[in-house]
Amino acid sequence: MAREACQVARGIAKAGSKNWWKIFFERYAMFALPFITVLREGIEAVVFVAGVSFSSTATAIPLPTVVGLIAGGLVGYLLYKGGSTARLQLFLVISTCLLYLVAAGLFSRGVWSFENQKWNEKIGGEAAEFGSGAGSYDIDQSVWHVNCCSPKIQNNGGWNIFTAIFGWTNSATYGSVISYNLYWLCIIVAFLLMRYKEVQGRYPFMKPSSNLSTSDSSEVQTEVTSDKQAAGRVTAV
């Protein structure tokens, strides 16, 4: 361990202070990635549990927390014991898609919260006090509104789960709908750009490199030389 630390220190001194973090994370990538991931998930769990504590009773916290820990441990154990490379890749793809859905809902819900706060300022109170009927939303900014399926009503059949995960609301506004679609438009464009660069080797609207690299030019020269030698042998025969 001391030898590896000395090697990293020498590499940092050789590369300069600007690239020390790059050398460190390349050296200890398998340590840094799980550490940052677990740290991020732990902070996120604390934030979510704290948020629930402000809007629910204390008895509503232990059961979801314990069930979440058991479910997370069980999924991790199954992936460790029976997950092949193909299955693990499929799991990562599905979990990534789920994260995109959650992020889209959070973004849309955030815009909706800003617009709801503006409506509260107009009416001089809390719109939630009116329930789900008239006065609880700004009809000029409303795209749709249904009196049922509200996440704010108790015993609502689990609609608050859809709100927490996918950003569902029974009273959508122009801002929330437009922001949701803009989010997915940006994701689609980003994937198309990455795919284009993977196939073409460059981003759109960028000039292709006209000069071959040294390795590519040497490979081409070797192929041309071998073709000439083969043609000479055929002619001699």
- The tens digit of pLDDT for each residue in 120-135 reads 887 777 766 666 666 6
Same domain, 139 and 37: no
Above pLDDT 70, what percent of the chain? 68
pLDDT tens for 206-231 read 877 665 444 444 554 555 455 555 54
Q: Which long-range contacts (CB under 8 A, 24 or more apart) does 135-138 make?
A: 136/171, 137/171, 137/173, 138/173
Phi and psi torsions of 143, nearest 5°: -95, -45
Per-residue burial over 57-74, b = 16 or more CB atoms within 10 Å of its CB, e = otherwise: eeeeeeeeeeeeeeeeee
**Cβ atoms of residues 103 and 183 within 8 Å:** yes
Same domain, 92 and 166: yes
Residues sharing a CB contact under 8 Å with residue 65, sequence separation 6 or more, in sequence order: 49
Q: How many Cβ atoms from other residues are within 10 Å of residue 156's Cβ?
A: 17
Predicted TM-score (pTM) of this structure = 0.60
Q: What does the pLDDT read at residue 236?
A: 45
Residue 226, domain member (yes or no)? no
Which is more confidently placed, 225 or 182?
A: 182
Cβ-based burial of 115 (10 A; exposed 0-12, middle 13-18, buried ≥19):
middle
Same domain, 112 and 168: yes
Q: What does the pLDDT read at residue 88?
A: 74
Mean pLDDT of 27-48: 79
Same domain, 77 and 154: no
> Taking 80 as the threshold, does the pLDDT of residue 151 lie above it?
no
Same domain, 63 and 49: yes
> Taking 80 as the threshold, does the pLDDT of residue 71 lie above it?
yes
Same domain, 76 and 117: no
Same domain, 198 and 96: yes
Last residue in a domain, options 67, 82, 97: 82
> Taking 50 as the threshold, does the pLDDT of residue 82 lie above it?
yes
* Host domain of residue 197: 88-205
Query: How far is C-alpha 235 from the geometric centre of its chain's CA atoms?
Result: 62
Same domain, 12 and 108: no
Which pair of tokens denotes residue 24?
């460190």
The count of structural domains within the chain is 2
Residue 220, domain member (yes or no)? no
Last residue in a domain, options 39, 55, 82: 82
Q: Which stretches of the chain are DSSP H helices?
A: 2-15, 20-27, 29-55, 62-82, 85-123, 159-166, 174-200, 214-236
Q: What does the pLDDT read at residue 189?
A: 95
Phi and psi torsions of 137, nearest 5°: -150, 160
In DSSP terms, 142 is beta-bridged to 173
Per-residue burial over 186-195, b = 16 or more CB atoms within 10 Å of its CB, e = otherwise: eeeeeeeeee
DSSP helix/strand/coil, 184: helix
Same domain, 76 and 96: no
> Taking 70 as the threshold, does the pLDDT of residue 77 lie above it?
yes
Q: What does the pLDDT read at residue 200?
A: 85
Residue 215, domain member (yes or no)? no
